[in-house]
Structure 1
Amino acid sequence: MDDTTKRLVQRLVKRIPAQMLRTTLDKWDRLTGEQKKSMDFTQSKWALTEKMLDLCEVNGLSVKHLTELEMIYIIDNPNKGMWYAFQLMDPQDDAHSVELMQFKEQFKSHLKELVRHVSIKIKKHTDEAVWIRIAWGDTFARPNHLKPTYVVHYLQSPYVFVTSLTLKQKPLLSQALVLSTRYQAIKDANLSGRKLTAIRDLLMRKYQQVFPTKYPSPLPENNPTISSIETFFVLLQMACEAFGGGMLPQLQSAVYKLETKFRDNSNKTMSEREEPFKCVVKFASTNLLESFRHCASSGIASTPVTPLLSCIPLKGRNYFVITDNGPGPSSQMRQPQN
């Protein structure tokens, strides 16, 4: 067993919780029933690692087999890293007809033309997602299996989700994706998060959307008894129209980068500066959309909901840059840029 295989075994056993390791090994199916029974998952991670090393040595398992084990764990537990969304642009006429085998062959072929040493493994998940594991090398170095990139793409859709990608690797992956999917370009979707399912559901509209009623009701005036009930339902309707109904994607943050003129007549030093005033505002929560919806429906936040917040589900984004329409301090603030 070479050093890379040993280090990968150590990394996987350390990363996967002991009880989850049992079910992951069952799906892996590279160990016999007797071998799996011989493992005591109550032991320390050090003891489990030594046992796994012995079993891999006996079975002659290599890096190729261990990357299968890693993919099984990552696919079953996708909410472990930071995921970034991208959108393919300008499809060719035959983009909708690209099938899995065709995509696999062309993606591997294109990427291997760009990178001399690269290891690629592709697996289709039960929800139709195509999972890609890429271990990058270069002209002189062999693929680094300890720092792989994971890519998730739904065929017949323009969306791609990526984690653990460096700036050097980004153009290489982008070119391989564009060529193998029959699109002409790819752009950053300005959407990221630690929960793959959340950014996927937000971007692909996999949540209950609530549309405005034909004849929206105005907020009732402060009348006795029933006005509070009517107000609640009107606020709830408006909040659901802005953020969605039912269970919402568990987006955890939204970032607004402001590049505007400083507006304060009492502070001419700042307001007369030609350079824009820059700052970053970040909202964070375990479920940001649910928090915004609750604030709007309970009256904590004003309604109708400002487009600065409602554009998160509307545009499927959580990163925005806000600038001025013109150079002067009297210019109006733009909506978040596309």
Structure 2
Amino acid sequence: MSPAGDVGRAKGMDETVAEFIKRTLLKIPMSEMMTILKAWDFLSENQLQTVNFRNRKESLAQDLVLLCEENCISLDDAALLDIIYTQFHRHQKVWDVFQMTKEPGEDTDLSDMEQFKSSFKKILQRALKNVTVTFRDAEENAVWIRIAWGTQYRKPNQYKPIYAVYYSQTPYAFISSSRLRSNIPLLGQALTVASKHHRIMKMDLRSQYLDSLKTIVFKQYNQTFETHNSTASLQEGRLGLDINVDPRIIHENKVEKDRVQRVTQEIFGDYAQPRLEFAQYKLETKFKSDLNSGILAEREEPLRCLVEFSSPHLLEALKSLAPAGIADAPLSPLLTCIPSKGMNYFKIKDK
């Protein structure tokens, strides 16, 4: 028989996990509940059939918690459900891109994913007593990592985890932004050592759209420029023209539209652009004037300003500017180089 104190602690731990599961379930939209539970694969089909999914969410969550307790759910099982929910709602977080490097001339070391997981977890647990690490394999040799941080004296806070997505045999990792920035260096160290790199640095690339970040750093967007037939659109545009309009103006408009379309196509291609919601430019420049007088001309410190372009789909918006007649073609390379440079944070200084 266990001492009474041990029983009490075990019961308290179970109640903590049950509360964690319940709060995770309450976050899941009812329209996604069954899909996420099946992806979790912790409850059997027979168990799910006993649940009335037409109940109010609070009652439904409580019924599911009871089934989880019957299956002797662990903290890792509960954390896995949270990872799956986060995968479904990855766009609700802001993701930073980190790039790792090896020493010059060092060959690629092909370590398998299981070895990476084991090494990653050991590094964190050796450095920090109270930390929970959970993994879930994903597509394309990727692994999702959930880290709940504690301190030397406090248990991990399961409600403020950090998520990382690492793609095996690549130097890239994607980490969700968090207020717990003090733990980022430790996370970076674990990623670097476990993946057998030597250095990690944060790129000037951030977005809510994790899939687009992956598309940019892996250069997966289609770079094959297809021949664009603008005849149909030009003919449609002519339908609204007055028959008395000078044909030379029509020809001039057509030539300019064709030029703008061609230049836009050469820069952006005919493929859908990766989705980013902003690009930020920090400018630091000295005042320049032909007149060598005035307060600004004598100023030693550079002028600083911040310019940010934002849109629900920034690159598609930029692509449409010239064809819509809002901007001249071609656009500035500072706007069009975002995918090729893998940046949406820029610092512009005097040369």
Question: 1:257–1:281: 8 Å Cα contact kept in structure 2?
Answer: yes
Q: Distance in 1 between matches of 2:316 and 2:293?
A: 38
Q: Which amino acid aligns with 1:31?
A: L
Q: Name the counterpart of 1:205.
A: 219
Q: When the two structures are aligned, how many residues end up with a matched partner? A: 317
1:103 aligns with 2:120: no
Q: Distance in 2 between matches of 1:32 and 1:304?
A: 58
1:236 aligns with 2:261: yes
Q: Distance in 2 between matches of 1:230 and 1:99?
A: 56
Question: 1:129–1:154: 8 Å Cα contact kept in structure 2?
Answer: yes
Q: Distance in 2 between matches of 1:225 and 1:33?
A: 67
Question: 1:18–1:42: 8 Å Cα contact kept in structure 2?
Answer: no
Q: Name the counterpart of 2:62.
A: 50
Q: Which amino acid aligns with 1:121?
A: T
Q: Name the counterpart of 2:162.
A: 149
Aligned residue for 2:321, secondary structure, equals: helix
The alpha carbon displacement at 1:212 in A equals 12
TM-score by length of 1: 0.85
Q: Distance in 1 between matches of 2:258 and 2:109?
A: 42
Q: Distance in 2 between matches of 1:10 and 1:271?
A: 63
The sequence identity of aligned pairs, in percent, is 35
The alpha carbon displacement at 1:318 in A equals 0.6
Distance 1:128 1:229, change over 3 A: farther
The alpha carbon displacement at 1:305 in A equals 2.0
Question: 1:202–1:249: 8 Å Cα contact kept in structure 2?
Answer: yes
Q: Distance in 2 between matches of 1:324 and 1:131?
A: 41
Question: 1:243–1:313: 8 Å Cα contact kept in structure 2?
Answer: no
Aligned residue for 2:337, secondary structure, equals: helix
User: Unaligned regions of 5+ residues in structure 2, if any?
Assistant: 1-10, 228-246
User: Can you list the C-alpha shifts for 1:155-210, whole angstroms capped at 9, x where unaligned?
Assistant: 12211100044320111011111111122211111111111111111222111225
Q: Name the counterpart of 1:331.
A: none
**Cα RMSD (Å) of the superposition?**
2.5
Q: Name the counterpart of 1:309.
A: 335
User: Can you list the C-alpha shifts for 1:286-309, whole angstroms capped at 9, x where unaligned?
Assistant: 110001011133332122221211
Q: Name the counterpart of 1:163.
A: 176
Q: Distance in 2 between matches of 1:79 and 1:270?
A: 44
Q: Name the counterpart of 2:312.
A: 286
Q: Name the counterpart of 1:88.
A: 100
Q: Name the counterpart of 2:53.
A: 41
Task: Decide which moves more: 31-40 or 173-182.
Answer: 31-40
Q: Which amino acid aligns with 2:92?
A: K
Comparing both structures, which one devotes a greater share of its residues to helix?
A: 2
User: Can you list the C-alpha shifts for 1:92-136, whole angstroms capped at 9, x where unaligned?
Assistant: 734341221221122122222222222212222123212111111
Q: Name the counterpart of 1:121.
A: 134
Out of 273, 290, 309, which is 1:248 matched to?
273
